[in-house]
DNA sequence: CGTTTGGTTGACGAAGCTCAAAGCCGGTGG
DNA sequence: CCACCGGCTTTGAGCTTCGTCAACCAAACG
């Protein structure tokens, strides 16, 4: 009885973009890698670093972020099991942003040259990885709009919805979850202060949109109303299959 | 005496990411396309549309943007000559954002299936296009930080710097240029109101960071100081060559 | 248990928004 | 060539949302 292959969580999303046959999946699973257990709040890539590995989240949660001149921090994305964090940095060679764990994480590091080699030999796999980075781009665009044009309550609600939907995509309960972030980190993700995030969460609770048993637990009572409050529309996550229309000849 | 090929502006950026030989460049130039002359303020792609073409800017300026629920608009990127706008939308098949011209533009539409076919036959070209979308992603991340964590003055100065540097990259004068945007559009790009943008521009002028002969002209007196005021560091634009390190075997 | 980390609260202040009016400039048509 | 028009810019006054600062509290952790 074999355990599931270590890199198996990576396949879920890639299967959404292209149809992979068994040898292709095996080639991906066979990518050389090292598994690392990381404690929470650990910075694993720093802006400016030369990057030679991509990181795959096996368990736990992490974020990508940038500092601005004033010293303030902006989180640009949140990642969970199955996410290839930092493929972007690795491909561009030098990190334009940093990566940090939120919780304790198990992660695999994949040397970029092997990813490159595999994607060069199999165009389908290159497409899958390309699409993965394209969807990341789409999420970035949504975030620009979120922090640029939505008020505090909407921003926070939007983030709660995005997180819920991503949890659902990996098979976890989207209606009752534990936020892996402090209110400080929530603030860094939404472009607010932790004080204001605190007040927003309370107001979402008194409005009956969420319940919080502990400070970080989120129980979504009415998804429809929360999504409306968060101006949330799932399309930008491209969670649904986009198989290649174009066939090779 | 042959005029320069229509699609020639597309090559400049792609050459930064990979080394293309003459047949490869020719294949790109030979991509089927239609040239269109568009008036200013024309929306050419709408969020939600099925997208079958990518747009290449041949002259003029355009933006990509999204609406949020309140009706407010967020511009997520600005494009100029040589930019492949909307390769992202075209590859994902359905537009997650809209595209609009700012000025009168000459643009080429390229059917995505031909781009796909070419990039499937030549992995190098696929890499070049992939990298182009990766750099777009990097710019998006910077923008998340810009609207999320910088104050109004810094945001506007940052945008002026980014625009200047992109102009420089296509061989135009970065120190003395005409902004192709109204203050309303500037506001939509920075997450501010046009009234406040107006005041910020005035303060940048009285600080001596820019001069404005007309309302839209920007003359950068002291690049160093403007870049400092805008917390601007060019790295995220990845304007410098990143040739493939990995060779095919 | 003490200590640390993160959450909560209040009072106050400021950056940026709203609304509204007035000015300017370039384009158009008489 | 001039007058008008519409879109853009500029200005002012008042206001709101969110930030700051500082204290206090609660849960977690060693």
Rounded to the nearest integer, the mean pLDDT of chain A is: 94
> Per the structure block, which two tokens stand in for B5?
């090929």
Largest CA distance in chain B: 59
Distances (CA, A) of A48 to A51, A66, A108, A111, B41: 9, 11, 21, 18, 38
Per-residue pLDDT of B91-148, as tens digits, reads 999 999 999 999 999 999 999 999 999 999 999 999 999 999 999 999 999 999 999 9
- Residue A120 in contact with residue A78, Cβ under 8 Å? no
Per-residue pLDDT of B9-49, as tens digits, reads 999 999 999 999 999 999 999 999 999 999 999 999 999 99
**What is the spatial distance, in angstroms and rounded to an integer, between the CA atom of A195 and the C1' atom of D24?**
14
Per-residue pLDDT of B74-97, as tens digits, reads 999 999 999 999 899 999 999 999
Please give the share of chain A, as a percent, with pLDDT higher than 70: 96
pLDDT at A246 over 50: no
Please give the share of chain B, as a percent, with pLDDT higher than 90: 92
- Residue A66 in contact with residue A98, Cβ under 8 Å? yes
Q: Which of residues 192-231 of A touch strand C (CB under 7 A)?
A: 194-195, 198-199, 201-202, 212, 215-216
Q: What is the pLDDT of residue B2?
A: 62
**What is the spatial distance, in angstroms and rounded to an integer, between the CA atom of A94 and the C1' atom of D6?**
49
Confidence of residue B248 (pLDDT cuts 50, 70, 90): very low
Residue of A139, A228, A156 whose CA lies nearest to A198: A156
Averaged over A116-120, what is the pLDDT?
95
Residue of B86, B91, B97, B89 whose CA lies nearest to B47: B97
> Taking chain A, what is the end-to-end CA distance rounded to the nearest angstrom?
40
Confidence of residue A229 (pLDDT cuts 50, 70, 90): very high
Q: What is the pLDDT of residue B247?
A: 45
pLDDT at B246 over 50: no
Cβ <8 Å between B149 and A73:
yes
Cβ <8 Å between B130 and A126:
yes
Q: What is the pLDDT of residue A1?
A: 52
3-state secondary structure of B168: helix
- What are phi and psi for residue B106, nearest 5 degrees? -105, 125
Confidence of residue A4 (pLDDT cuts 50, 70, 90): confident
Q: Which nucleotide is nearest to A200 (CA to C1')?
A: D18
Averaged over B51-69, what is the pLDDT?
97
Closest residue by C-alpha to C1' distance, nucleotide C19: B195
Strand D close to B198 by CB, under 7 A:
yes
**Measured CA angle at A239 (ends A10, A39), to 5 deg:** 45
Q: What is the pLDDT of residue B240?
A: 84
pLDDT at A223 over 50: yes
Q: What is the pLDDT of residue A221?
A: 87
Q: What is the pLDDT of residue A2?
A: 61
Q: What is the pLDDT of residue A243?
A: 67
Confidence of residue B243 (pLDDT cuts 50, 70, 90): low
Averaged over A62-70, what is the pLDDT?
98
Confidence of residue B159 (pLDDT cuts 50, 70, 90): very high
pLDDT at B227 over 60: yes
Q: What is the pLDDT of residue A247?
A: 45
Q: What is the pLDDT of residue B4?
A: 80
Cβ <8 Å between B141 and A66:
yes
- How far apart are the C-alpha atoms of B131 and A90, rounded to whole Å? 11
Q: What is the pLDDT of residue A244?
A: 57
- What are phi and psi for residue B230, nearest 5 degrees? -95, 5
Q: Which of residues 48-87 of A touch strand C (CB under 7 A)?
A: none
Per-residue pLDDT of A141-172, as tens digits, reads 999 999 999 999 999 999 999 999 999 999 99
Cβ <8 Å between A238 and B70:
no
Distances (CA, A) of B163 to B139, B172, B181, B209: 12, 11, 11, 15
**What is the spatial distance, in angstroms and rounded to an integer, between the CA atom of A237 and the C1' atom of D8?**
37
Rounded to the nearest integer, the mean pLDDT of chain B is: 94
């Amino acid at each position: 009885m074999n355990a599931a292959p270590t890199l198996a969580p990576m396949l879920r999303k890639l299967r959404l973009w292209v149809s992979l046959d068994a040898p292709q999946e095996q080639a991906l699973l066979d990518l050389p890698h090292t598994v690392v257990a990381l404690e929470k709040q650990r910075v694993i890539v720093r802006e400016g670093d030369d990057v030679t590995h991509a990181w795959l989240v096996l368990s736990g949660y992490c974020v990508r972020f940038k500092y601005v001149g004033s010293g303030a921090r902006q989180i640009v994305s949140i990642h969970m099991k199955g996410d290839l964090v930092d493929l972007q940095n690795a491909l561009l060679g030098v990190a334009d942003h940093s990566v940090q764990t939120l919780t304790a994480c198990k992660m695999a590091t994949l040397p970029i040259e092997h990813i490159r080699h595999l994607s060069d030999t199999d165009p389908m796999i290159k497409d899958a990885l390309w699409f993965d980075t394209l969807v990341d781009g789409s999420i970035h665009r949504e975030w620009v709009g979120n922090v640029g044009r939505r008020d505090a309550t909407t921003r926070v609600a939007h983030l709660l919805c995005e997180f819920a939907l991503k949890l659902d995509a990996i098979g976890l309960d989207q209606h009752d979850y534990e936020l892996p972030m402090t209110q400080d980190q929530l603030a860094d993700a939404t472009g607010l202060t932790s004080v204001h995030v605190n007040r927003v969460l309370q107001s979402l609770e008194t409005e009956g949109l969420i319940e919080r048993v502990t400070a970080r637990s989120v129980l979504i009572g009415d998804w429809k109303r929360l999504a409306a409050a968060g101006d949330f529309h799932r399309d930008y996550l491209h969670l649904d299959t986009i198989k290649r229309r174009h066939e090779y000849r």
